[in-house]
Amino acid sequence: MKGVAKLVLLFIGSALLGSIVQADQQQPYFLQIPELPQAPQIDGRLDNPLWQKAARIDNFTQYEPEEGTPPSEKTIAYLGYDQQTLYIAVRCFDSQPKAIRACLTKRDAVWGDDVITIYLDTFNDKKRAFVFQVNARGVQVDGIYTETRRRGRGRMSFDHIDRNWDTYFLSEATIDEQGFVVELAIPFKSLRFPNRQPQVWGLQIQRQIRRKNENIYWPPRSRDVNGFLIQAGTIEIHGNIARGKNLEIMPVTTGLKQQGCQFNPDFGLNFKYGLTSDLTLDLTYNPDFSQVEADMPQIDVNQRYALYYPEKRPFFLEGKDFFDTPFELVYTRTIINPKWGMKLSGKLGKTTMGFLSAYDETPPPIEYNDYSTDDYLPDSGRAWINVFRLKQDLYTESHLGFILTDKELGPDWGNLSHHYNRVVGIDGHFKIKRFNRLSFQVVGSQTKIGENNSDWTPAASLNFNHNSRHWSFSFDFNRIPEEFEASTGFFRRKDIQSVNTRFGYAFLPMNKWIVSVRPSISYRRIYDFNNILTDEESSLTLFVDGWRQSYVFANFRSSLERYGGVNFYKKNLMFSFSSEPLAWLSGNIRFSFGDSIYYDPEAPYLGYKTSRSVMLHLRPMTNLRLFYTFSNDNFFKSHGGEEVYQVNIISQRISYQISKTLSIRLITDFNDYYQKLYTSLLFSYELKPGTVFYVGCDDNQVKNESGTYQIEGRFYFVKFSYWWRI
């Protein structure tokens, strides 16, 4: 592993050299946005003559399936503004209007539809953009696109968009004999941007035609560039615009009634203030963190490591990308029952900053070696969690960062210094020439539990990747000692010194049947801190994507895994197929089989496991969606031998959208291993983000010894919140 340290230094040196020799590419796509004499009506129609005074874009280009060619359907976009609002209209011509895919669904749930997506890089730093998406029925999606997302667990969707961010904007759409029209009005108060004049922003406009597997962009997007926002066009706004110093107040009332208990009402308050156009303060007292959306069930039988569950609570979701680093040092689901919280986030010049503080009334314990705060605070612990984050832009698509996390834990607010865990570190991301990126992080942790103090314990991460039109290569190195503790983060595994490399090549037929064929090979090797080889894995992968969002994924692995002092040698094969053949039908099938370890601490052994899963998404009507998933694990003592256990999980999600604001949702989850049945019924009224009314019922049942299901817990809940924007 000493050679790896030298390699780390070599890569960092290469990155710094790259920062000197890199020259930014100047994009020829520039647009000056005119000021409109009055606000156009947002009704999904282009009959208003005001749009003729707007800037016009009609030179869209295909990215998929045939990169660089003209689109199969014409698209025209119009842009204008007044002092309060940015206005965008898009005419999407379609030779088969009846084939347009568009559902009436809840906000942020337009998967599988024909959509228009607007990316606004308001700081023009090629790192982060506000995203506004509208389908052909006017249903809204908003989110944050981040160029340099964290790798691994907790990351955003495949398109780098975090759709948990919500703001206020207007949109309408209509379908007619020529195709469909989308109109948007985005208040400047809903955005963050630098305090300067004129405003110079990055802009990308994307149209998706799902049935044709077609994505078109303005400006053109190329696979020959490692990065998306670097390919954006530039828009300029010369006039005075609202600076976004808005005040938002959101009172929240919730109520919970458990079967056999009295109704328990509660009240909370959320407060947001734009200190400047690029710096925002969020405060919350007694926040509502009840989960309207339940976690998808996961198989947790015979698992060596902890399962990961994504964050769903609104206060922690907004702006969470500010705190992302290569290591997941901020995993907010470790904040279980916060009484209050505070967040300060924004960008001042080239400096991005974030500060998060929360008081947790039922925190999980801090662990360190053989010590735990559970031994000192069995049921009465309180925790104060603080996170401070800074990122400094160096040049296009590159930055250096600093992070500090601190968890203080004690019996009450006045005695929070009895135990603590603190982590401090630096990280960086560098774009090197056109195709290469390098990121690193070095952190140290210190823990105090009772009278037991740890020394500062370092951990390190390094990633280098090359992505060009055909070739891809990545190199990862991680060094995480057993003594390293980050109680505010998520680490699946410690006591590792790991190296992982991957080579891939892309064949690009780029036709309606096959877009790309991507074979790859990877190799992974892990030592513990006693220099014992604990894992070694070689892997071959094939990925083929094409017709109607279809893809085939196949993977073969040959590996060594050491557990309980024994080396186990395994071979596994996995296959997955996904497709959207029809407007009302999409699905995924996955299966795997091969050698697997039974993780018995006393007597582990090598068995044989098969896994299967099926997912179906049905849309029999434009306002009715049905999701069905089935997961199955079977473990045997040997191939063809005695069955040790079987786990089947069946999940159902049914949503019926009565209107844009009213919906009903039913969830049913069944786990036959634990013989548990979970049912949730929810009625939702969502006028806009933050102005909502929910009423629902959750029911948990378990099978008893007589074979009948009895209620383990039944809860009725209600929530009302109203969003005042001043």
Residue 141 sits in a domain whose CATH number is: 2.60.40.1190
Q: Is residue 93 situated within a structural domain?
A: yes
For residue 373, the model assigns a pLDDT of 77
For residue 151, the model assigns a pLDDT of 47
For residue 661, the model assigns a pLDDT of 92
The span from the CA of 60 to the CA of 93, in Å, is: 12
The span from the CA of 94 to the CA of 97, in Å, is: 6
**Model-level pTM?**
0.87
For residue 316, the model assigns a pLDDT of 81
Nearest alpha carbon to residue 207 among 198, 216, 199: 216
Q: Is residue 198 situated within a structural domain?
A: yes
Q: Could you count the other beta carbons within 10 Å of the beta carbon of residue 24?
A: 11
What 3-state class would DSSP assign to 101?
coil
Residues contacting residue 378 through CB under 8 Å, at least 6 positions apart:
none
The span from the CA of 136 to the CA of 140, in Å, is: 10
For residue 299, the model assigns a pLDDT of 60
Would you call 233 exposed, middle or buried from its count of C-beta atoms within 10 A (0-12, 13-18, 19+)? buried
Q: Is residue 51 situated within a structural domain?
A: yes
The span from the CA of 244 to the CA of 193, in Å, is: 9
Residue ranges in the chain whose pLDDT is less than 50: 1-12, 14-26, 151-156, 291
Q: Is residue 704 situated within a structural domain?
A: no
Nearest alpha carbon to residue 311 among 356, 269, 348: 356
The parent domain of residue 211 ranges over 33-237
Q: Is residue 415 situated within a structural domain?
A: no
Domain count, the chain: 1
Q: Is residue 403 situated within a structural domain?
A: no
Taking only the tens place, the pLDDT of each residue in 580-597 is 999 899 999 999 999 999
671-709 per-residue burial string, b: 16 or more CB within 10 A, e: under 16: beeeebbbbbebebebebbbbbbbebebbbbeeeeeeee
